[in-house]
Amino acid sequence: MAKKFNVDIVTAQGRFWQGESDMVIMVTVEGEMAIMAGHIPVVSALLPSALRIRDEDGKFMVISIGGGFAEMTGQKATFLLRSAEWPQYIDVARAEAAKKRAEKRLADKTSGITDEKRAQAAKQRAVSRLRIAQQEEKE
């Protein structure tokens, strides 16, 4: 079995999850990245996406994240996230409503650039949550 490293996932509400893994796969602003024990130090911005953590049975736990930052120091990965939730707890109706609100704001051409960027980010978070919830339903 591969070497393990500590993983710490934190949101503004507090620690979401802490444990050990031999691999974490995340979606950064530069693309998908996998990290393992001994990885070179890295700090990266994360997109709203699925954070996948391999457990001791070789299966991946999936966490829906709303973006944030990751820091890997070789033997510890820390994730500072806007939000995090287990797929089975995603409120699909709420995510659908958020997506529709964001699409409506994007269609309104009278809004400013700041509002447009916020609407795009909200839509991206909602789409990510919906995609992760749908994958959970299939499994």
Cα–chain-centroid distance for residue 110? Answer: 31
Percent of the chain at pLDDT > 70 equals: 94
The two domains 5-85 and 91-138 share their CATH topology (first three levels equal): no
Distance CA 20, CA 34 (A): 15
The answer for residues whose C-beta is within 8 angstroms of residue 5's C-beta and 6 or more apart is: 20, 21, 22, 36, 37, 38, 74, 75, 76, 77
Question: 91-138 domain in CATH 3.40.1180.10?
Answer: no
User: Would you state the structure tokens that stand for residue 30, as one six-digit string?
Assistant: 């530069």
Tens-place pLDDT, residues 74-89:
899 999 999 999 999 9
Type and span of the H or E element at 86: none
| Start-end of H helices in the chain | 92-107, 113-138
Residue pair 60/52 in contact (Cβ under 8 Å)? The answer is yes
- Average pLDDT, integer, range 96-105: 92
Tens-place pLDDT, residues 21-62:
999 999 999 999 999 999 999 999 999 999 999 988 889 999
Q: Any bridge partners for residue 43, and if so which?
A: 71
* Domain definitions of the chain by residue range: 5-85, 91-138
Q: Which fold has domain 5-85?
A: ATP Synthase; domain 1 (2.60.15)
Is the pLDDT at 127 greater than 70? The verdict is yes
Q: What angle do CA 18, 137, 7 make, to 5 degrees?
A: 10
